[in-house]
Amino acid sequence: MRFDGTEVQVPRPRASKPGRRAFVSGKKKMNTKKATVVTDGEGRTLWAGAFRPGRMHDQTAVRTEGTADLFEQFPEVKAKVDAGYRGLAKEFPGQVQAPPLRPKKDAAPEEVAAWDAERHQQSPERICVEHASAEHKHWRTLQRFPGRREDFDETYMAVAGLVSDRTAER
């Protein structure tokens, strides 16, 4: 399995609404909602969910959704994740594989070269989830969601289902 989170811009909440700042993403500096996408090794969407405001961290969403608990129940399951799930990789070292930590600025050149080689080795194994997220965003509705934020979850699930059905035929 491959895990990754993706952000989609959503309409800004009204000024009088409580929790308005929760949707402002630290990465994109705009109002977003995030979704977690899980794919297999070939890039077919297995699951899309754990929808949350843009400010929430990827790993927090997986934990609150209960997906992280599944690693305890199914020890044979393996996952490759990006740096946003490094804590999950520390908790389940035999099951979850995250990219290595970047060496410090004063690290030896050999250490930097080893880090770069390991990162480049894992990158092609994780790219399929990035492609799956991008395929969802090929749909105009998810490039910049025009509707109400409350309807985002169902819309994303519908698009992910349509993409998953289409990729299953390949």
- The confidence band for 169, taking pLDDT boundaries of 50, 70 and 90, is low
Q: CA torsion angle for 5, 42, 48, 135 (degrees, to 10)? A: 70
Q: Are 132 and 45 in contact (CB under 8 A)?
A: yes
Q: If pLDDT is split at 50, 70 and 90, which confidence band does 170 have?
A: low
Q: Where are the domains positioned within the chain?
A: 2-168
Residue 168, pLDDT score = 56
Residue 87 has a pLDDT of 87
Taking the mean position of all CA atoms in its chain, how far away is CA 138? 17
Residues in the chain: 170
Q: Per-residue confidence at 56, pLDDT binned at 50, 70, 90?
A: confident
Query: What average pLDDT is seen over the chain?
Result: 85
pLDDT at 145 over 80: yes
Give residue 167's pLDDT. Answer: 60
The third-level CATH classification (topology) of the domain covering 2-168 is: Nucleotidyltransferase; domain 5 (3.30.420)
Q: Which of 26-30, 56-60, 135-139 has the lowest mean pLDDT?
A: 26-30
Indicate the pTM of the whole model.
0.80
